[in-house]
Amino acid sequence: MATQKATAAAVDFARIYTSLGLGKETIASLQAFRKRHSEAQRLSNHYAGQPTTVDTAHYRSVLKNTAIVDEAEKLLRDFKPITYDVNAHVKAIETFESKAVAKAKETEEKIDIELSELQTTLSNIESARPFDQLTTEDVGQAHPRIVEAVETMLKKGKWTVPGYKEKFGDLNLM
């Protein structure tokens, strides 16, 4: 019991919360779990210190119906605690834990890949030329379909962009 207390005292939960970058909901869940755990430990320690024997002589002297006390005494004597095999439950928990750890590692890998892609995108954005310094040739090189569309419009003699008047209105005075 002393080693559990020493271990619990050695864990700095405030540092864990900040260093792992946990979300508010996760931190709240951990704090609620810690509170339930400490309450369960307190109750366990409280009940472990209480006597577990039943004084049937006291009840014989207080109650007039001693047949009830005899029956209770017989039940207490014949009581045998049942032991349960919890290995199946432990195995299920371990299986769940291993799947959860594997899923967490998989998610971590996906997040690392996404972060590297975002970092690449950010470096591209930071190294890009400002918009006011772009030329039409630069835009044409980046998106050749725009050049093709403009050339097709010029060949057909179309000088207006479809949907422009509907969106921005006609600015002609005549």
What is the C-alpha to C-alpha distance for residues 53 and 85, in angstroms, rounded to an integer?
Answer: 27
Looking at the predicted structure, is the pLDDT value of residue 160 above 80? Answer: no
- Convert the pLDDT of each residue in 1-17 to its tens digit: 555 555 555 677 778 77
Per DSSP, helices labelled H in 49-163 are 56-62, 66-78, 87-127, 136-142, 144-156
What is the C-alpha to C-alpha distance for residues 67 and 59, in angstroms, rounded to an integer?
Answer: 11
> Which pLDDT band, with edges at 50, 70 and 90, does 128 fall under?
confident
What DSSP designation does 133 have? Answer: G
What is the C-alpha to C-alpha distance for residues 23 and 77, in angstroms, rounded to an integer?
Answer: 54
- Convert the pLDDT of each residue in 85-126 to its tens digit: 899 999 999 999 999 999 999 999 999 999 999 999 999 888
What DSSP designation does 162 have? Answer: T
- Convert the pLDDT of each residue in 29-84 to its tens digit: 888 988 999 999 999 998 888 877 888 888 889 888 889 999 999 998 898 888 88
pTM reported for the whole predicted model: 0.38
